Structure 1
Amino acid sequence: METDYENVILDYGNSTPEMFEPCNLDPNPVDVLTETYIHSIICASGLMGNTLVIATYMFYKRAKTMTDVYLFNVAVADLIFVLALPLIIYNEQNNWAMGPVACTVLRSAYSINLYSGMLLLACVSGDRYVAIVQARRSFGVRSRALIYSRLICSAVWLLAMVLTLPTLLYTKHIEDLNLHADEPVSVICQLSFDKSETAKLIKVVVPTLQMAIGFLLPLLVMVFCYSCIVGTLLRAQSSQRHKAVRVVLAVVVVFIICHLPYNAALLNHTLSLFKERSCTLEKIKLKVLAISRSVAYLHCCLNPILYAFIGVKFRSHFRQIMVDLWCFSKKYIYSARTSRATSDIFISGRVASEGSNHFTSFSA
């Protein structure tokens, strides 16, 4: 059975066969610990931000526009990802102790939410383009916004599932047998194939789809739509246009900063899959890939700030959530103190009553 590591062709220079040693591509403990801390911060902040967005849309700001529906779905995709990320980290560091089902489900969950999240951000930019640049022509269409937006979101999630099929079908839970009998057997979760032709095809197709549909397509849509929006805003006579332009630029710049390094590293790694390379160079490439991947993960924490909390109405709903939580906590503390005080009075009254009865019987 062929795995990812069987396609790694390593160059040992002019060394003799006796000097050949296996190339250990495992990250060192310091890198693992650093990556764990960074991912923990991403999980905590992403969980808090996206939960607040979802709670706001569910209980305070009903989804009334297409952008609202898209942003709600983006928050759901990001939330699923930050919930899956700790489980992925745990399993990677513990030989996939949760078993083969967790291996397939977690890898597929990451893939689904990668595609759905990026495509939904493209939908947000498209909706803003229609609302601002094509405002007059789109009035009749946007009156039926909720119906269209829900159909589009369903299509996006369905497309993400279809694009995830290679990951779902070929991701397997594999025991990596070590050369030395005294070493423990390590377990990996990765793409695995029975035929060499299938391996070469899928190992090129999966990262290519990820780069093309998960990065390039949303980037092109965002650049086109937001360029037109900036042009329209600059022509408008509004005191708020400069702030709106800065927000648009921030959205595009953050998207590029977060995802361009990882996709460039992924492209470089994919192009060199079937070429001869040195062990040292392979370690450097994998390290760059891991660092850039962590930077890409940051985007799920920044989405709530860029797309939701930056809006005036959303900020007012967010403040209302904070007020309600504060009032609820005060009410809970007050009721707890009241019940405790009532209990103390009841106990002290009972003790006094029992003492009085005991004194009466003793006097008699």
Structure 2
Amino acid sequence: MDVTEEMYNLSNYDYDYDNFSFNPPCSFNINNDVSRVVGLYVHSIIFILGFVGNSLVIITYMFYKRTKSLTDIYLLNMAIADLLFVLSLPLLVYNEMSSWPMGSVACKLLHGSYSVNLYSGMLLLACISTDRYIAIVQAHRSFRLRSLSYGRIICVAVWAFALLVSVPTFYFYQKYTPGHTVNVMMLDGSNLTAQNLTVQWAVCGFKAATREVAMVAMVAIPSIQLVVGFFLPLLIMVFCYTAVIVTLMKAKNFQRHKAVRVVMAVVVVFVLCHLPYNVALLYDTASMFQTIDCGDVDILQTALTVMQSIAYLQCCLNPVVYAFVGVRFRNHFRRIFQDLCCPESLQSHL
């Protein structure tokens, strides 16, 4: 193994706890190779598509469509969360592949904001499904429950709750410099000798003061992500959209039957993007403190890397599923490009 590869592994597995130390980390050659490809190419595509799509949604709501309904407020906030999420991807990739050049404050802000935007995006999906349920299934109550002021209060509550559940991430992620001794072969004249080399590598990652705190935190953080970031939104979406589909199927209206396809697309996209990663995360959390062969851990980490990238695709698909499928929104989308070609027309919207 070369020194660079060993240094890269330290950023993920060489944690420094008081009175506690891990064995030298496994090589994880498969995961390292996959992570480089995913980080450089797949995440770059996700960043570009997510940035363009969510920026168009925000521009549309700011200058063209305005927020006239509760759904509009949710969609705008979700686009903001997704945009902030994709903006953090380049730094996250850089952190995985290079030494961390900034301080602990920047490290905490990077991982903390990533966590806040992740939770807020998932919870806003649940809010949208609840809004669709009230508008279609509980239509007689929709006027009272779907006011704009009510929606703004809910969005503030969602962001506050996302910040609250992200507090452990802000607390435990920091910059530190673990040391690891690597046995390397050195050529001294005509003699090849083995020497120990201490590798220093600035890491922006998880760090706890004691083993006990580390064990609790390393189980609690992914468990909160599983419950709040996946299972809770999934249960709300399944309940709400099942009732919506039953109601729409009873209506003899073409437009409402067309809406069923949109609802199904929403659920399918969410499940396909997030179910594989969360199943792998659940297995990884459950087996965290068991003795596992390095080869098996390498395969598990590779699966987590690939499935996490699939989950990231949600931020690219949200604008398509929730916004661009609407005829009116597509018309606004065309007008943006027309105005970009005609600066005088663009100024009329500013």
Alignment equivalent of 2:286, drawn from 255, 259, 271? 271
Q: Is the 8 A contact 1:70 1:123 kept in 2?
A: yes
Q: Is the alpha carbon distance of 1:329 and 1:47 closer, same or farther for their aligned partners in structure 2, counting shifts above 3 Å? A: farther
2:73 corresponds in structure 1 to 69
Q: Distance in 1 between matches of 2:25 and 2:13?
A: 11
Deviation at 1:329, TM superposition (A): 9.2
Alignment equivalent of 1:85, drawn from 86, 89, 102? 89
| Letter of the structure 2 residue corresponding to residue 24 of structure 1 | S
Q: Distance in 2 between matches of 1:235 and 1:331?
A: 44
TM-score normalised by structure 1 residue count: 0.82
SS at match of 1:315: helix
Deviation at 1:285, TM superposition (A): 0.6
Q: Is the alpha carbon distance of 1:65 and 1:201 closer, same or farther for their aligned partners in structure 2, counting shifts above 3 Å? A: same
Alignment equivalent of 2:320, drawn from 302, 305, 325? 305
Residue range with higher mean Cα deviation, 307-316 or 54-63? 307-316
2:302 corresponds in structure 1 to 287
C-alpha RMSD of the superposition: 2.2
1:235 corresponds in structure 2 to 250
1:5 corresponds in structure 2 to 13
Q: Is the 8 A contact 1:4 1:192 kept in 2?
A: no
Q: Distance in 1 between matches of 2:346 and 2:177?
A: 54
Residue range with higher mean Cα deviation, 116-125 or 171-180? 171-180
SS at match of 2:254: coil
Q: Distance in 1 between matches of 2:125 and 2:24?
A: 47
State the number of aligned residues: 317
Deviation at 1:91, TM superposition (A): 2.5
Q: Distance in 1 between matches of 2:63 and 2:249?
A: 36
Q: Distance in 2 between matches of 1:22 and 1:320?
A: 54
TM-score normalised by structure 2 residue count: 0.85
Q: Distance in 2 between matches of 1:31 and 1:275?
A: 24
| Letter of the structure 2 residue corresponding to residue 32 of structure 1 | R
Q: Deviations over 1:24-44 (max 9, x none)?
A: 236434640343200000000
2:20 corresponds in structure 1 to none
Runs of 4+ that moved beyond 4 A: 329-332
1:261 corresponds in structure 2 to 276
Which runs of no fewer than 5 residues in structure 2 stay unpaired? 1-10, 16-22, 183-195
SS at match of 2:153: helix
Q: Is the alpha carbon distance of 1:182 and 1:196 closer, same or farther for their aligned partners in structure 2, counting shifts above 3 Å? A: closer
SS at match of 1:172: strand
SS at match of 1:256: helix
Q: Deviations over 1:258-312 (max 9, x none)?
A: 0001101111110111111101011111000000000000000000000011112
Matched, 1:247 2:255: no
1:296 corresponds in structure 2 to 311
SS at match of 1:274: coil
Q: Is the 8 A contact 1:91 1:98 kept in 2?
A: no
1:17 corresponds in structure 2 to none
Q: Distance in 2 between matches of 1:97 and 1:83?
A: 18
Which runs of no fewer than 5 residues in structure 1 stay unpaired? 8-19, 333-364
Q: Deviations over 1:158-215 (max 9, x none)?
A: 0000000001011121212120354642222222111222111111111111000100
| Letter of the structure 1 residue corresponding to residue 49 of structure 2 | S
Q: Is the alpha carbon distance of 1:182 and 1:324 closer, same or farther for their aligned partners in structure 2, counting shifts above 3 Å? A: same
Alignment equivalent of 2:237, drawn from 207, 219, 222? 222
Map 1:109-128 onto structure 2 (within 5 A).
109-128=113-132
Map 1:43-192 onto structure 2 (within 5 A).
43-142=47-146, 145-180=147-182, 182=197, 184-192=199-207
Q: Is the 8 A contact 2:241 2:263 kept in 1?
A: yes
Alignment equivalent of 1:23, drawn from 26, 34, 46? 26
Find the structure with the greater CA-based Rg: 1
| Letter of the structure 1 residue corresponding to residue 81 of structure 2 | A
2:3 corresponds in structure 1 to none
Deviation at 1:321, TM superposition (A): 1.1
1:362 corresponds in structure 2 to none
Q: Distance in 2 between matches of 1:255 and 1:286?
A: 22
Q: Distance in 1 between matches of 2:101 and 2:258?
A: 50
Deviation at 1:242, TM superposition (A): 2.7
